Chain A
Amino acid sequence: MKKELKIFDNPRNVKRLLGFFYFSLLVLLIVDFFIHKHAEFPWEGATNFFAVYGYVSCVLLIFIAKILRIFIKRDENYYD
């Protein structure tokens, strides 16, 4: 059997990955200031609109899903 990959067993590698991730977010925020936009809607032209919308969307998604779970969660054998 081939050798196992263990790259993420090391917490430092996970930290590096996260660090790289946060850095790329920062780059995206900065780059947006220098992009020429031809927006159909006015808010599309606003700087970093998509960053805010993406973040808010996903938080809302999880928030609503958590509430939804209260109503729709059933045992795995519910239909048996």
Chain B
Amino acid sequence: MTNLIPPAAIFIVGALFIPLIKGKLKRAYMLFLPVFAFITLVKMPEGKYWIVNVLDYGLVFGRIDKLSMVFGYIFTIISFIGVLFALKVKDDLQHVSAFMYAGGALGVTFAGDFISLYIFWEIMAIFSTFLILARKTKASEGAAVRYILVHLFGGLCFLAGIVLYIQNTGTIQFEYIGLNGLASWLIFIGIALNAAIPPLHPWLQDAYPEATVTGAVFLSALTTKSAVYLMARTFAGTELLIYIGAGMTAIPIFYAVLENDVRRVLAYSLINQVGFMMCGIGIGTQLAINGTVSHAFCHILYKALLFMSVGSVLHMTGKIRCTDLGGLYKTMPLTCLFCMIGAASISAFPLFSGFVSKSMIVSASSHEKLIVVWFILQFASAGVFHHAGIKVPFFTFFGHDSGIRTKEPPLNMLLAMGIAAFFCIGIAICPGPLYDILPYPVHYAPYTGAHVVGQLQLLMFGALAFTLLILSGYYPAEMRAINLDTDLFYRKAARLFYYIMDKALNGLNSFSNRNIAEVLPAFVGGLSKNPVTSLVTYFMRTAGKDNLAIEDFKRETRPEGTNLIPMGVPVLISMAILFLLFLVFALKI
């Protein structure tokens, strides 16, 4: 059965009606949209749908296959959870933006051609910006401007690549691209920027922590994962991605250890997790792609859960820095529990969702005998437990008692967290349904004795290191500070650019003002007052023959009567020239 409405359209058109509806009906309507989109998706058989012919091109709004379906499912599921979490927000701008943004992500997922893909890609960039702006602080404003500028840059690379690609191949349809030639590199950079591949990543840790409490949930789920989807479709098996991915898993965890803002810690661990996915895409075997896709699915849920739980803390206390928080388990036990479930899932503890997905990518690396990559991935696995698994819950809910006494967030927020937590545990206990929807048949058993014990050892002895370091006082102290990242280059460079432009252009301006507006007219004025006298005097002086200068010509002794040309002469000449011009044009006509 073919539905008449593509899922992206359900979101994007549906979003337009949100401001028109009020009260309980509005809440019901917002919750209904993702459910409706999900139901239409479930019934879709594979194939290409919603083909619209524009000019000579056939736009494909529905490329339905196993890869796109997984992402379609998870994007609608997370939209439902995100909307439920944001249900009581009284800002229509945020609701509409969130739906447009999620609609854009669905559009990207199901786009079968480059033109509609690019349009949805930019819809995502624009409407996600509003989720940052809507926080309405000075910091969020600055972050949002940097965010959109960076994404417009990425979008332009992407567009340039697309135009070249269409020029080269003559078709707007796309499948596997692979790295060869300028067009593919530009497309690759465009996707890489959205996937937050270092050094193109700093927009993520810059902007997400400044977003609204509810907006961050959508942000954490959609932009990077739609890029993961696109990368998996177009660049699977690109060897470069293995090394990029491995580096991406390791670098952010050092920052995460030092970071003070809890949501920024989560942003760094988001980059780390996407690194696992990039690595899987680079390896490109069936096991690796399955691992990547299932990890994206699980990751969206537990990362959203983590952002929701610390977002609840921010919502209830107004504070988000490690230095300001601590001891909140006393008054927010449920939020604390949900946070710990998210933390256990991202750390890939057995019986939590990360365990059944991430391990596929790690196994794929060992199947391909990628020794160094395997060691880095294991290091990153221990590291992610260290900062996202322990640090976030510990400094927020335990650690020193900050003295803050608050209460649990509203019921809708708790429910949204509860659903995400349910998925995190449910997928781990019963991974079958997830494995069934993966792109390739799954022959993978996560729960072997060696794997469970190995993983537990890796994590628990990482925790031992944390415990001993905390008890010994060697652990890096929580500090009110920021850490330099590659955004330094554009944040400081922008300032440098401004400084240079300021000095150069304003310097030129004042130079012009001084010389052209003041000195030159005075000189010309003096010259035109008595041209012949002045020129002769000037000539004599330059020639060093001051003695030849007629006394009358010397400025100081010059009598009034030496004006050789009466005022009327220049006027006459001007009139003559004007008449000449008139004649020239008149004759031409």
Chain A contact residues, CB within 8 Å of chain B: 1-2, 4-6, 8-9, 18, 21, 24-25, 28-29, 31-32, 35-41, 44, 48-55, 57-62, 64-66, 68-69, 71-76, 78-79
Contact = CB atoms under 8 A, between A and B. Distances in A.
A31 B563 CA distance: 114
7 contacts: A2-B407, A21-B467, A28-B453, A28-B460, A54-B460, A76-B481, A78-B484
Contact of A72 (B407, B460, B483): B483
Given A53-B458, A58-B386, 12 more contacts: A5-B329, A21-B464, A21-B467, A32-B457, A36-B449, A37-B450, A40-B363, A40-B367, A57-B458, A61-B382, A78-B484, A79-B482
A-B pairs with lowest CB-CB distance, top 8: A58-B465, A54-B461, A40-B366, A54-B458, A50-B457, A51-B457, A55-B461, A57-B382
A59 to B, nearest CB: 5
B514 interface: no
Interface stretch (B70-78, B284-292, B371-379): B371-379
Contacts of B481: 73-76
Given A4-B405, A48-B457, A55 B398 contact: no
B455 interface: yes
Contact of B330 (A6, A51, A68): A6
A70 B145 CA distance: 30
B469 interface: yes
Contact of B378 (A5, A25, A57): A57
A35 B450 contact: yes
B331 interface: yes
Interface stretch (B27-35, B99-107, B251-259, B300-308): B251-259
Contacts of A21: 460, 463-464, 467
A31 B379 CA distance: 22
A25 B386 CA distance: 16
Contact of B475 (A36, A53, A62, A71): A62
Contacts of A59: 465, 469
B410 interface: no
Interface size class of B (residues with CB under 8 A): 35 or more
B491 A65 contact: no
A36 B452 CA distance: 12
Given A8-B398, A36-B449, A75 B482 contact: yes
A24 B463 CA distance: 12
Contacts of A2: 331, 407
B254 A68 contact: yes
Contacts of A31: 453
A38 B484 CA distance: 43
Contacts of A9: 401
A61 B465 CA distance: 10
Contacts of B463: 21
B258 A76 contact: no
A72 B407 CA distance: 36
A5 B401 CA distance: 12
Nearest to B367: A40
A79 B483 contact: no
A61 B153 CA distance: 34
A60 B383 CA distance: 10
A73 B371 CA distance: 33
Given A25-B460, A50-B455, A52-B461, A58 B482 contact: no
Given A53-B458, A54-B459, A62-B474, A69 B382 contact: no
A53 B450 contact: no
Contacts of A29: 457
B476 A58 contact: no
Given A62-B476, A73-B479, A55 B449 contact: no
Contacts of B198: none
A58 B450 contact: no
B482 A74 contact: yes
Contacts of B383: 57-58, 61
Q: Which of A28, A57, A59, A71 has the most CB of B within 10 A?
A: A57
B327 to A, nearest CB: 8
Contacts of A36: 449-450
A74 B254 contact: no
Given A62-B257, A73-B481, A5 B333 contact: yes
Nearest to B401: A9
B383 to A, nearest CB: 5
B480 interface: yes
Interface string B473-511: 011100111111100000100000000000000000000
